[in-house]
Amino acid sequence: MKRVAWVTGAGKGIGAVIARELAKQNIRVAISARTVRDIENVADEIRAGGGEAFAVVCDVTQPDAIANAVKQIQAEFGAITILVNNAGVGGSHKFIGHDDALWHKIIATNLDSVYYVTKAVAPMMVAENWGRIINIASLASKVGWKYTAAYTASKHGVLGLTRALAMEFVPHNITVNAICPAYVDTPMTDTSIANIAKRTKMSESDARTFLEKLSPQNRLITSEEVAHVALMLINENARGITGQAINVDGGAVMF
């Protein structure tokens, strides 16, 4: 029987690449995001390559929308046993005078969504006595940088939730892990570069170079590198890996 995966935030960037790679492994892939055109494009590409994909619009900060998405995915493909919590948003602000709306938006998108989506999907994994939950976190789940209080808090929360659930789900053959990339060459990072350029008055080219130099390898990580780790974690030979936070960062953080 084919496995069924759900990748959130899969309309572009890391999520889209993970969805494509999962489909190549003969896995039925449900793709969600808030933008219809983006997820339909990814689903069409997967189908064109001979894979199975189902696009479903879902705001993962809303429990009702999540419940509806789960119902649609089950009807289309069956029980979800692979979950990639990838949906996320960036943002930065000095803590003095921090915008409360920005705080709530980042926490809701990056942390609350992981709680809500996992809560909706985990019962299916328990019933199947098998599952893989992969949370796309960040180096910000392990270390902090100035001007990123909300983002750092959200990703630290994701890591804490990952570890707690890993222990809780051991009896059900469900592994729960986090992938912690450095800056990845995605549209989200392009937005960060634009914000840095605007705030510091440096050029976008210089802002990109600044982010590249945060890695000992002097480059941005690729989405394919993150997807490679995700594929490794769903393999049966990775069943001994749970509660872990795997860095993909060119050696920037070594714990």
Helix (H) or strand (E) holding 177: strand 174-181
Asked whether residue 37 is assigned to any structural domain, the reply reads yes
Asked whether residue 210 is assigned to any structural domain, the reply reads no
Do residues 20 and 44 lie in contact, with contact meaning Cβ atoms separated by under 8 Å? no
Asked whether residue 70 is assigned to any structural domain, the reply reads yes
CA distance 127 to 234: 18
Asked whether residue 126 is assigned to any structural domain, the reply reads yes
**Given this model, what pLDDT does residue 198 score?**
83
**Given this model, what pLDDT does residue 200 score?**
86
Do residues 252 and 215 lie in contact, with contact meaning Cβ atoms separated by under 8 Å? yes
Sequence-ordered list of residues with C-beta below 8 angstroms from that of 184, at least 6 positions apart, any chain: 13, 14, 220, 221, 222, 223, 226
pTM: 0.96
**Given this model, what pLDDT does residue 61 score?**
98
Out of 115, 116, 147, 151, pick the active-site residue: 151
151 is catalytic: yes
What range defines the domain where residue 172 resides? 4-182+222-248
Q: Say how many domains are in the chain.
A: 1
Asked whether residue 98 is assigned to any structural domain, the reply reads yes
Low-confidence ranges of the chain (pLDDT < 70): none
Asked whether residue 10 is assigned to any structural domain, the reply reads yes
Instruction: Give 3-state DSSP helix, strand, coil % of the chain, rounded to 5.
Output: 50, 15, 30
Asked whether residue 24 is assigned to any structural domain, the reply reads yes
User: CA 149 from chain center: how many Å?
Assistant: 19
Q: Looking at residue 23, which CATH number applies to its domain?
A: 3.40.50.720
**Given this model, what pLDDT does residue 248 score?**
98
Supply angle C-alpha 99, 101, 102, rounded to 5: 65
Between β-strands 245-248 and 174-181, what pairing exists: parallel, antiparallel or unpaired? Answer: parallel
**Given this model, what pLDDT does residue 196 score?**
85
Asked whether residue 217 is assigned to any structural domain, the reply reads no
